[in-house]
Amino acid sequence: MSEPVQMLDEGALLDRVQAPDGREILDAATREVIGRAPVHTVADLDAAVDRASAAQPGWAALGHERRSELLLAAADAVEAHAEPLARLLSREQGKPLNGPNARFELGACAAWLRATAGTVLDPEVLVDDESGHAELVYKPVGVVGAIGPWNWPLMIGVWQIAPSLRMGNTVVVKPSEYTPLSVLAMVSVLNDVLPDGVLAAVSGDREVGARLAAHPGVGKVMFTGSTATGRKVIEASAGNLARLTLELGGNDAGIVLPDADPTVIAQDLFWGAFVNTGQTCAALKRLYVHDSIYEDVVAELAAVAEQTPMGPGLDEGNVLGPVQNPQQLAIVTRLVDDARARGARIVTGGGPAPELGELFYRATIVADVADGVPLVDEEQFGPVLPVIGYHDVEDAIGSANRLDVGLGASVWSGDRDRARAVADRLQAGTVWINSHGGLHPMAPFGGIKGSGYGLEFGVEGLKSVAVPQVIHG
């Protein structure tokens, strides 16, 4: 049995993981210092991989049942610390406590740990007749290197950690330089119930991330982030032929068909785009609306945007927060300013909100734009949604498919069969009908084209962090 989990508040969690001489981490909303993140080196990473390699055979030998029990204990530990972790996450990442944000993210961490613990991957009988018997089984890869992003650092971290551990691998996590403290704190909580050496987090710069992708002791790399960085991960992993799961950038398109009711879909459209203040890979980032209802959809979206509270995340009334970092704010500002200069109509928002804080940008709806405008063609990754009109659904489908991304897409209609016919023609790893961005731990998730490859979640997610073996006889 695992030892009872020691209950820690936010300050105690910080004290566990921060370093007195480390790098200052600022509150995304107030720009005050939260704490100091350790700056680990390549040598620290090498030592972590060595420890993980040494621990892996014993972890695998525990068997699926015992590993699942420990994942369930890990879920309990996360739930026991959900509030202090959510508060630390809110300060570091910027997302508010409420809405589909920090508390939601901690709930998802526990839910995915439990779902992964309960997912069964049985041997598959391939041949069983007079010619012989053969079955397919899955074995651990060894050490998994998990390189995480700053937008959903804890939830995506669990997406990488949970299946890897479930299949008998050990894991070395490299969190984003923007959100290391919350990840280090969550790993510390998980390690209260896991055996020594099974899970480690190394907080360092890009050199450390590059070494993790290229490390000869790592058999699998899981990366979530930009397409440009994903290409570098591929290059770095070539030397050791590490297996890869890459969840890269998206510029998800939504198509609103003429029979949709703007008043019915407006809230779901808004949150499909503005979840986590628009800083989500599979958020709705360009919306194509039939010209017969175009102005109504634009007006309804603007009304929702204007009524949705934005501000510091620890204020219980807010559900939209800041852009997480100055570099991303500069991208958002550039794209909106460029669209304005090209004649786009800024329906609401369109600029910073300095009265809220340095990194706040108003929820923005942009109309009268077209394909080819950078705001449409590039991933804005912030609180902005361009709305593009169309007349012929064939043109909308062509527009949705024309970019070299394919993470998610959505179709909005009062006629499900009609929506399904359009959905079948969209080039994306996931297509939603009358919603956007919702995920389920048993439904595989992954991108196509420039949005990466490999699947996460469910049985397919377990297979992706294992090596297949066919046994004859």
Residue extent(s) of CATH 3.40.309.10 domains in the chain: 252-433
Parallel, antiparallel, or unpaired: how do β-strands 143-147 and 220-224 relate?
Answer: parallel
* Rounded average pLDDT over 252-272: 98
Asked whether 22 and 197 are in contact (CB, 8 A), the reply is: no
Q: What is the pLDDT of residue 3?
A: 54
Length of the chain in residues, anyone?
473
Q: Under CATH, which architecture does the 252-433 domain have?
A: 3-Layer(aba) Sandwich (3.40)
The model carries a pTM of: 0.96
Q: List C-alpha distances in Å: 329 to 277, 284, 335, 458.
A: 12, 18, 10, 35
Kindly report the CATH number that applies to the domain delimited by 10-248+448-472. Answer: 3.40.605.10
Residue 430's CB: how many other CB atoms inside 10 A? Answer: 23
pLDDT tens for 411-423 read: 999 999 999 999 9
pLDDT of 1 strictly over 70: no
Gap between the Cα atoms of 152 and 110, Å rounded: 14
pLDDT of 172 strictly over 50: yes
Q: How far is CA 257 from the centre of its chain?
A: 28
pLDDT tens for 14-51 read: 999 999 999 999 999 999 999 999 999 999 999 999 99
**Catalytic positions, written as ranges:** 247, 281
158-184 as b/e: b if 16+ CB within 10 A: bbbbbbbbbbbbbbbbbbbbbbbbbbb
pLDDT tens for 97-115 read: 999 999 999 999 999 999 9
pLDDT tens for 299-357 read: 999 999 999 999 999 999 999 999 999 999 999 999 999 999 999 999 999 999 999 99
Query: Which 3 state secondary structure label does DSSP give 351?
Result: coil
